[in-house]
Structure 1
Amino acid sequence: MRDFQVVPVVDVLGGRAVHAVGGDRARYRPVRSIIAAGDDPRELAGGFRDALGPSPLYLADLDAIAGRGRDLPLYRDLAAIATSLWVDAGAREADDLPPLLTIDGLRVVAGLETASGPDAIAAMLDLAGPDRLIVSLDLRDGRPITPTPDAWGRVEAAEVASRLVAIGVRRVILLDLARVGRGAGVGTFPLLESIACGHPEVQVIIGGGVASAADLIEARRRGASAALVASALHDGRIDRAALERINAPSRD
């Protein structure tokens, strides 16, 4: 069985790493972490590497998501630190991808929140390929977040997931923004299990609400390949030893 991965998250606003809570971006404040002394994203990425070992890194460029431009030099720096860099830069159409795809080791995260619709996702997939495109099924309290009401129609999260798989997406993040930074537990386990059981060819990553190693163990048991984690790494609830225990061979 492939090792379960913890993917550290860096949320960046105005060039600084911030603490994301509940998806209310206007209230995000500079991060405080045991991983690094300050809020410089590069230092934080290096701290994650030192604390957890080599791993992918997830970057949410909140300025880009809000349409205020992308920080390509930062992406290059972080891609040189992590084994791979997953970047949500607010891609709306396939035309947004070429500058990102020039960066070695970068994988584009296309968020349901910003991508204009299923046709845009399909075009991004054609351009980037299934290995370099990760689609984030963005949720708020279990409901899909879309840029316009008619982007996907009034459908449930499970229907969106099915349509993504039908398009050819092979890496999906289940991210409930309402749970981000709250430590209240993961709310997408039923959806995760449904996708993992029905589409074993799809890698499913969970995010939002991971509070402890127990959440990671449960995510792996239900079929997740990885989890996005921020707050529980910043305060030490999850560390390298916990990850090693999760991936230790079973004695049963």
Structure 2
Amino acid sequence: MDVIPVIDVARGQVVRAVKGVRSAYQPIETPLAPSSEPADVARGLARLFPFRKLYLADLDGIEGRGRNTHIVPVLSQALPHAEIWIDAGTGSRSAARTVLAAPVATLVVGTESIETVHGWEDIVAEAPLRTVLSLDFRNGEFMGPDAMLNDASLWPSRVIAMTLDRVGANEGPDLNRLHNIVTRAKGRRVYAAGGIRDRGDLDEIRKIGVSGALIASALHSGKISADDLKEIAGR
């Protein structure tokens, strides 16, 4: 199982996500780093474990304030062997091309940023093997064109089930939704995002076929430890 640490960046600082309410996010305070600077947080994560993937949620890009492209080299330097998954609110093929210009980058496209199925097909055509689809949910509602959820043939080989209102909420993952998506994914790798509290939650989602999880709070709180990460990686 892949454990993928998440760094949420807003106005140049790493912030702590709370239930997907982005206006309430504040600069992170964590025992892993001396500040909320992306470089400090990334180095702290690298000391915890040699992660092979890192997820960057560029909230400035998602909310239309301009993308933090300068952060990618900083993160890559801290975790030199990591594939960096980047969600920057990409809604066009030209924007996708900009993200993918970094050799370490994997493009994450959230359905909340997709207006039409045709738009998605145009984006994913740029680099299908370097594109991950995030199926975004908030308060039980799917965010994006209904066909993106209902027609699994549109999904690439890697799919995130993103439950935004459970991010940082300490409520646990939505197991029913994850099971439904895994069942329909038919061999695609499914990643859980939102609600992972501890090692027990990771064990539960692994049992239903989830391939990995995006995690932030549980790493910073120590509820998922370096020993946990080593054991999970060895499976």
TM range, smaller chain: over 0.9
Local SS of the residue matching 2:197: coil
Q: Post-superposition shift, 1:80? A: 3.5
User: Of residues 19, 24, 27 in structure 2, which corresponds to 1:27?
Assistant: 24
Q: How does 1:135-174 map to 2 (within 5 A)?
A: 135-146=133-144, 152=145, 155=146, 160-163=148-151, 165-174=152-161
Match of 1:15 in 2: 12
CA shift digits 1:29-71 (9 cap, x unpaired): 1101121111011111121111022321101111110111111
Once residues 139 and 155 of structure 2 are traced to their aligned partners in structure 1, the CA distance between those partners, rounded to angstroms, is 26
Change (3 A) 1:215 1:96: same
For the 8 Å contact 2:172–2:195, the answer to whether it is kept is yes
Where do 1:1-252 residues align within 5 Å? 4-82=1-79, 83-129=82-128, 131-146=129-144, 152=145, 155=146, 160-163=148-151, 165-187=152-174, 189-247=175-233
- Mapped contact 2:134–2:162 kept (Cα < 8 A): yes
Match of 1:149 in 2: none
Q: In 2, Cα distance between the equivalents of 1:86 and 1:215?
A: 22
What code does the residue aligned with 1:161 have?
A: L
Deviation string, structure 1 residues 215-237 (Cα, Å, up to 9, x no partner): 11111111111101011111111
Aligned to 1:11, what secondary structure does the other structure show? strand
Unpaired runs of 5+ residues, structure 1, are: 147-151
Residues 128/80 of structure 1: CA separation in 2 closer, same or farther (3 Å cut): farther
The number of residue pairs the alignment matches comes to 233
Runs of 4+ in 1 over 6 A off after TM superposition: none
TM-score (norm 2): 0.93
- SS in structure 2 of the partner of residue 218 of structure 1: helix
| Whole-angstrom distance in 1 between the partners of 2:67 and 2:199 | 33
Distance 1:118 1:25 in 2: 26
Separation in structure 1 between the aligned mates of residue 77 and residue 232 of structure 2, nearest angstrom: 27
Are the aligned partners of 1:186 and 1:209 in contact in 2 as well (CA < 8 Å)? yes
**What's the offset of the Cα at 1:168?**
4.6
The percent of aligned pairs where both chains have the same amino acid is: 32
Gaps of 5+ in 2: none
Pair 1:58–1:78, CA change in 2 (3 A): same
Deviates most, 175-184 or 74-83: 74-83
What is the root-mean-square deviation in Å for CA atoms of aligned residues? 1.6
Report the CA distance between 1:248 and its aligned residue. 5.1
In 2: Cα distance, 1:191 partner to 1:160 partner: 15
Alpha-carbon distance in 2 for matches of 1:168, 1:206: 15
Equivalent pair of 1:49/1:55 in contact (CA under 8 Å): no
Distance 2:136 2:155 in 1: 18
Tell whether the 8 Å contact from 1:175 to 1:207 is kept in structure 2 after alignment.
yes
Do 1:35 and 1:48's aligned partners in 2 also have CA atoms closer than 8 Å? Answer: yes
In structure 2, relative to structure 1, the CA distance for the partners of 1:98 and 1:247 (3 Å cut) is closer
CA distance in 2, matches of 1:66, 1:215: 30
